[in-house]
Copies of this chain bind each other. A is one copy, B any other.
């Protein structure tokens, strides 16, 4: 079972979540005027959880947040997020700058510096514009309100073209989140930057467990280009203000609701990936193991030849089989069958006599599902990916300029 059976209604916006106040302001960190500094605050210190990049090169905020959550996940008050600078490959000065921003936020909120989590996104190898952040933090603190989620979502964007938010009203509590994505997206890490909040009452360890379950079938399904950031972080905060406690009986619903928010954000990240013109679901069926299924799906999803063929609306399915064949998984080409949506193109390694014009039309759709049945067992995997377009090259050829 890899799909949810009950449909949960997800809103694309966030009204408010009890116990949270947020802000998004222009601290002058970008070249152009735009919100670039977000602050998410709980009324009182509460539970938090996090999932982080598995890249060995990690930004200062990742190193800091990991340590805080390992030490006192029950006592977190706020998250500060800046765009325009990743604070990665910045050494001890970068750590010191991150700690300074924690301290400045703590001074405004009247809390301890170690109750403030930080996130950064932008160019690597450049120090934080620390004086601008020192000036911006009080402005952000004064702008805090329960209904500022839209501008906060906007403040964390980099090459995203749209802000990304999602919320669910569950039985006695709410869950909501914002995210930024666009590039450098690969599986087996947290995700880009995302913060998810809830007013449920939940212990940090259970929140962490729920977050890992939700990530596995949402953010970890996303593959844009196979690159993995030094900064990817997903945080979850629980204010407890709804009074609804998560226990054994309502935990499944909590996970399902959290997953729905994460899935909504993850899909938006793919759909708004750099230069994306197609949302492609890769469904690998009947592999020997889940790891095999995932590896095949990821290899297909990161193949430049597969991605450019979809961009061109060309049903060049041989590239999909070729990618599966080089994935490292021991597949048998004479057992593989392939579909674009409901149209079967290949049966047991051989092309069927299908309508090529129809196959090309399917490949050219804004959304298409590729199903590859390798017929080696019973394990499935789904990943969401996108095409590789001229715009991806344009955006990333001149990212810093």
Contact = CB atoms under 8 A, between A and B. Distances in A.
Given A56-B331, A390-B393, 18 more contacts: A55-B322, A56-B330, A88-B318, A88-B322, A89-B349, A124-B317, A124-B321, A186-B326, A225-B304, A226-B302, A226-B304, A227-B319, A228-B325, A229-B322, A304-B388, A308-B392, A308-B393, A314-B400
A54 B326 CA distance: 7
Interface residues of A, number: 65
A228 B394 contact: no
B318 A89 contact: yes
Contacts of A305: 183-184, 225, 227, 396
A314 B398 contact: yes
A272 B124 CA distance: 31
Interface in A47-94: 54-58, 86, 88-91
Contact of A389 (B227, B319, B393): B393
Interface string A337-357: 000000000100111000000
Given A309-B399, A333-B58, A350 B314 contact: no
- Is chain A's interface secondary structure helix, strand, loop, or mixed overall? loop
Interface of A: 54-58, 86, 88-91, 123-126, 183-184, 186, 225-230, 302-305, 308-309, 311-312, 314, 316-319, 321-326, 329-334, 336, 346, 349-351, 388-390, 392-394, 396-401
A227 B55 contact: no
Query: Which 10 A-B pairs give the minimum distances between C-beta atoms?
Result: A124-B318, A312-B397, A57-B325, A308-B396, A228-B326, A55-B325, A56-B325, A225-B304, A57-B333, A125-B351
7 contacts: A55-B326, A56-B332, A57-B331, A91-B349, A124-B321, A226-B302, A226-B303
A305 B321 CA distance: 25
